């Protein structure tokens, strides 16, 4: 059974691109800490974002599981946040993954990905999921490039080198 613990930004951008369903085709279980739910659903709904309603439906349907962190996991997250200057959601994702014995975390932010690796986790990102979707035939290369370009238009921040590497990898398929 393949599981992943996700941060807010990949969920938000996958929802914006109508690609949240690819998570279900790649992973058997998607988990998030409560802070991520608050960031991408509660705050998003308050601001009227459609992607927040989409993510909420996945949570309501039990597809995305929300976890309240126990005292020890919360304390570890706070320490990670202070030590590595990470946002609460990022540190809680890493701490939850450690607590649950999961290997993969879905995080786009560069610093958080490096910290996840320090803890022996495998960070994946939004582009990775889109690449896997193409590799498995869920999306065409053309659709994937269009989706990524649409995300960039919606303020998805991506390093030009990462984007170039993504396009090169798509060409290998």
Supply the pLDDT for residue 53. Answer: 97
Q: Which of 91, 145, 133 is nearest to 115 (CA)?
A: 91
Q: Which of 58, 110, 55, 119 is nearest to 86 (CA)?
A: 110
- List the domain range (segments joined by +) for residue 166: 127-171
Q: Are residues 115 and 154 in the same domain?
A: no
Q: Are residues 62 and 131 in the same domain?
A: no
Q: Are residues 108 and 57 in the same domain?
A: yes
- Give the CA angle between residues 29, 16, 68 to the nearest 5°: 40
pTM: 0.93
Supply the pLDDT for residue 139. Answer: 94
> Domain containing 74 — which CATH number?
3.40.50.1010
Phi, psi dihedral angles at 122 (to 5 degrees) = -105, 105
Supply the pLDDT for residue 39. Answer: 96
Provide the number of structural domains found in the chain: 2
Coil, strand, or helix at residue 155?
A: coil
Other Cβ atoms within 10 Å of 101 Cβ, number = 7
pLDDT tens per residue across all 173 residues of the chain: 899 999 999 999 999 999 999 998 999 999 999 999 999 999 999 999 999 999 999 999 999 999 999 999 999 999 999 999 999 999 999 999 999 999 999 999 999 999 999 999 999 999 999 999 999 999 999 999 999 999 999 889 888 999 999 999 999 98
Q: Are residues 92 and 157 in the same domain?
A: no
Q: Give dist(CA 27, CA 139) in Å, integer.
A: 16
Supply the pLDDT for residue 143. Answer: 95
Q: Are residues 103 and 28 in the same domain?
A: yes
Cα 74 versus chain centre, distance: 20
Q: Are residues 142 and 122 in the same domain?
A: no
């Amino acid at each position: 059974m393949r599981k992943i613990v996700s941060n807010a930004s990949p969920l938000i951008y996958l929802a914006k691109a109508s690609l949240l369903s690819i998570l279900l085709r790649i992973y058997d279980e998607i988990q998030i800490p409560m802070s991520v739910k608050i960031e991408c659903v509660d705050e998003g709904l308050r601001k009227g974002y459609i992607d927040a309603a989409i993510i909420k439906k996945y949570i309501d349907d039990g597809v995305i599981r929300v976890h309240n962190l126990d005292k020890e996991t919360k304390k570890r997250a706070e320490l990670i946040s202070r030590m590595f200057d990470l946002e609460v959601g990022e540190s809680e994702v890493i701490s939850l993954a450690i607590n649950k014995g999961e290997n993969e975390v879905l995080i786009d932010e560069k610093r958080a990905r490096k910290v996840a690796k320090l803890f022996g986790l495998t960070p994946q990102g939004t582009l990775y999921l889109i690449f896997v979707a193409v590799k498995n035939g869920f999306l065409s290369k053309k659709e994937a490039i269009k989706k990524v370009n649409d995300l960039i238009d919606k303020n998805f921040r991506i390093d030009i080198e990462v984007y170039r590497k993504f396009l090169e990898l798509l060409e290998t398929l």
